[in-house]
Copies of this chain bind each other. A is one copy, B any other.
């Protein structure tokens, strides 16, 4: 594997010689190549689908795995959208002249070689390959075992385009050893790999963060909260609570717990119960909640669980400070929201909460690269450093200082 990664790393240097418009032209060629290979991709995917039947995968997993003409076209469109994004490379982030007359420019550059570890959906292969190529990074991809044939042919189609353009095919590579040992090796290869992005289950992310010597940008769990303050507009509060829980419970930016200000609890909890009952949401509550509405009991373990399902905890808290204490204890630093018309309360909440995104009077569901206006997204980072929250193509860049002198010495 070391030899393979060394080759991939040196291939990634070739990208520095390509202009943004050349990269975009090649991306559009990749999109076309995917369309032209629709039948071959569907055939390879059929092998994975047959294996999924044999292995008795769940129907939702099989749905995520399945490719048809429409989905392959969507993959091509996604690449074309990435090609249309502004070039993230070469941006002068800051610039100034020092006391000694040096002109300094802080300029965005590629990170180098990026390892991406993901599961199930084969479109992630083309999406992430395109995002890395757009940002002049080489990539090593490690998809799920269940999508092996689909991933192989998608990577192969993209590599053919690289070869036609006299570029090393290692710029978009699949990890040759996709076993757990292969992954364990990859994440220790800090000589060749500059960043690892694990997207997947908690076990994978824990394994990677605990064992990697390569820097990691995690896409970890979202234990998100919505706090209804005494000064909330209740109409907004009801609408936002339902949206944040029900619109897509499997998303990491949906809420798991509703926090309600004690001073309005008895007035508003029956209203929340009514709207959530209409959505068939399973409600659990703290002792105070259960004095007001009839719901099952929520334990500390419940408050710590990312349901990814239409289940919601409710807890009555002692004002904004009670809400902050609960979130400090149980929050995962993803997305937290307060509903209030009071500007002082809103700012107290937003200043005190340490999360990638803190909201006032909006649904946590907006924590998303597309909604933030970043275009395609690599994912939603739960790191505190490098990239935090929605991670667009800019998250795949770093910077260097270009220093222009006229013979200065120190």
Contacts and interface: CB of A to CB of B under 8 A. Distances in A.
Given A209-B213, A357-B403, A16 B351 contact: yes
Interface stretch (A58-66, A99-107, A256-264): A99-107
Nearest to A408: B362
Given A102-B371, A239-B407, A388-B398, 11 more contacts: A96-B373, A195-B384, A215-B215, A215-B384, A350-B402, A357-B401, A361-B407, A362-B407, A363-B409, A385-B398, A388-B399
Interface in A348-397: 350-352, 354-363, 365-367, 371-373, 383-386, 388-390
Given A215-B215, A373-B96, A358 B409 contact: no
Copies of this chain held together in the complex: 2
Given A233-B407, A366-B102, A373-B98, A356 B240 contact: no
Greatest chain B CB density within 10 A among A194, A357, A403 is at A403
Interface of A is mostly: mixed
Greatest chain B CB density within 10 A among A13, A362, A365 is at A362
Contacts of A215: 215, 383-385
B407 A357 contact: no
A53 interface: no
A404 interface: yes
A92 B104 CA distance: 22
Contacts of A209: 190, 213
Contact of A358 (B13, B243, B401): B401
A215 to B, nearest CB: 5
A191 to B, nearest CB: 12
A402 B354 CA distance: 11
A365 B409 contact: yes
A247 B243 CA distance: 64
- Give the interface size class of chain A: 35 or more
A357 B254 CA distance: 42
A111 interface: yes
Contacts of A195: 384-385
A277 interface: no
20 contacts: A98-B366, A98-B371, A190-B209, A215-B383, A236-B407, A239-B409, A243-B409, A247-B410, A350-B402, A354-B400, A355-B400, A356-B401, A357-B400, A357-B401, A357-B403, A362-B407, A367-B401, A371-B410, A385-B398, A389-B401
Nearest to A390: B401
Interface string A241-269: 01110010000000000000000000000
